[in-house]
Structure 1
Amino acid sequence: MVELGPERVVEVEPERVERWAANFAERHGGATTSYDGARIAVLVGGDGATASFTWSDADPLGVVLVRRGGYAVALVRDGVLVEHKVGTRHVQSRTAAGGWSQQRFARRRGNQADALVVAVAGHALRVLLGGDESPPTGAPSVPTGLVVGGDRTLVGEVLDDPRLRALAGLPRRELYDLPDPKRSVLDDAVRRGRAVRITLHDPVSH
């Protein structure tokens, strides 16, 4: 039995998967391919290396990115931004001050975070649901999956807004390693949200 090393994950654009699979076969002495319908599910290299494919099926795709320095909300269809909103909001960082000053700061910081959450939820309602809090089931303009990223707590608070209940339960791809959202970060999130995630195990050399 071939001993396999620790897993690693790569993200590949759907349009590049066939080329990636061909390169895998070249690197590993050929490959046996298993399919899920018409899509590659698993590759097993001639040397025992394995690659397992997780495809993103959401289309349209919704994106909600929130950090204390800003936010981005977008609706994506066929890999193209249909509508989006990117903005900057400032929530103060922690202070070393104590006593009453610290308490006033904490209240102000909390109010700023609350205002950010409310604002982003409003943008999400407009961009992702067309302003309709109760869209018809299966409406073509409503996302079938979400990409979320930034600050986990803030994202959760945005999606807990009752106006966004139509998004509850949608499959999510989480990207909490993203920096403060801006247009380039949004573009990267869209790319990664559509990407096929490939889990690799290479054989261990002794």
Structure 2
Amino acid sequence: MVAKPAAGGGRWADVEPRRLRRWLDGFYSRHDGAEEDGLKLSAANGDTAELLPPPGVTDVADIDGLLTALAVPRRLGFLLARRNAVAVGVADGDELVSSKVDTFYVQGRTAAGGWSQQRYARRRENQAAGAARDAADIAARILLPYADSLAALVCGGDRATVDEILLDKRLAPLLPLRHDRLLDVPEPRHAVLVEALTTAQAVRIHLVP
């Protein structure tokens, strides 16, 4: 289980689906039981745990429904992007069935001033725009053949870069599938994409305190 501070208080815990029952048993045991209200657990001492279904798991009203839904494999699309790289994939459950990773040259910032700085900035913007177009080509090639069967599109990396890629009109069918969570990933590589499969399928739990 991975736990990180949550904005506004408490912390986030990511629990793999296969470990969720054991985690729930531990919460009940540590708190001498707890009340369930939908996907939220409340203990007598004020501690709470709210479970957020992972991408592709919808229409679950309670914890029993969540556990049932998690047992059904889902097909997820992935778009991980930063300024210099993109990783796109489709996964059936834990298996990556299609993927493509690529890198792009986007010039870094320069310390030059005046006209030179403006020239370098324009060049960098043009390179970034070209990289976004190339990334959109990859996303269209990998994701669109599966668009009708995807349970969700999981994005990660730099939000501005991901948003720019998804502005491509060809990718419009994917927009309703985009999950709210943006995965925090390093520069996309194949290993990063594989790790994202596990991260995306975890159940996020907001723990207070």
Q: How does the TM-score come out when normalised to structure 1?
A: 0.81
2:141 matches 1:126: yes
User: What is residue 104 of structure 2 aligned with on the other side?
Assistant: 89
- Alpha-carbon distance, 1:46 to partner: 4.2
Root mean square deviation of aligned Cα: 2.1
Name structure 2 gaps, 5 residues minimum: 1-7, 57-73
2:57 matches 1:54: no
User: What is residue 43 of structure 1 aligned with on the other side?
Assistant: 41
Aligned positions, number = 185
2:18 matches 1:15: yes
Between stretches 116-125 and 101-110, larger displacement belongs to 101-110
Q: How does 1:126-205 map to 2 (within 5 A)?
A: 126-130=141-145, 139-140=148-149, 143-175=150-182, 177-202=184-209
Q: Identity of counterpart residues, as a percentage? A: 43
Inter-partner Cα distance in structure 2 for 1:177 and 1:91: 21
Inter-partner Cα distance in structure 1 for 2:167 and 2:55: 24
CA contact (8 A) 1:173 1:193 kept: no
Q: Which amino acid in structure 2 is aligned with residue 158 of structure 1?
A: I
Q: In the TM superposition, what whole-angstrom CA distance separates every residue of 1:52-92 from its partner, at most 9, and x where no partner exists?
A: 11112513211111112311111112132111111222312
Q: Which amino acid in structure 1 is aligned with residue 46 of structure 2?
A: G
Q: In the TM superposition, what whole-angstrom CA distance separates every residue of 1:144-181 from its partner, at most 9, and x where no partner exists?
A: 31211211111001111001010122241433532111
- Alpha-carbon distance, 1:183 to partner: 2.1
Name structure 1 gaps, 5 residues minimum: 36-40
User: What is residue 38 of structure 1 aligned with on the other side?
Assistant: none
- Alpha-carbon distance, 1:34 to partner: 4.6
- Alpha-carbon distance, 1:117 to partner: 0.6
Are the structure 2 counterparts of residues 197 and 68 from structure 1 closer, same or farther at C-alpha, using a change threshold of 3 Å?
A: same
Aligned structure 1 segments of 4 or more residues deviating by more than 3 angstroms: 32-35
| Local SS of the residue matching 2:122 | helix
Are the structure 2 counterparts of residues 198 and 89 from structure 1 closer, same or farther at C-alpha, using a change threshold of 3 Å?
A: same
Which of the residues 75, 86, 92 maps onto 2:90? Answer: 75
| Local SS of the residue matching 1:168 | helix
Q: In the TM superposition, what whole-angstrom CA distance separates every residue of 1:89-141 from its partner, at most 9, and x where no partner exists?
A: 231221110223222211221121111111111111111112x9xx6xxx33x
| Local SS of the residue matching 1:92 | coil
Q: Which amino acid in structure 2 is aligned with residue 118 of structure 1?
A: R
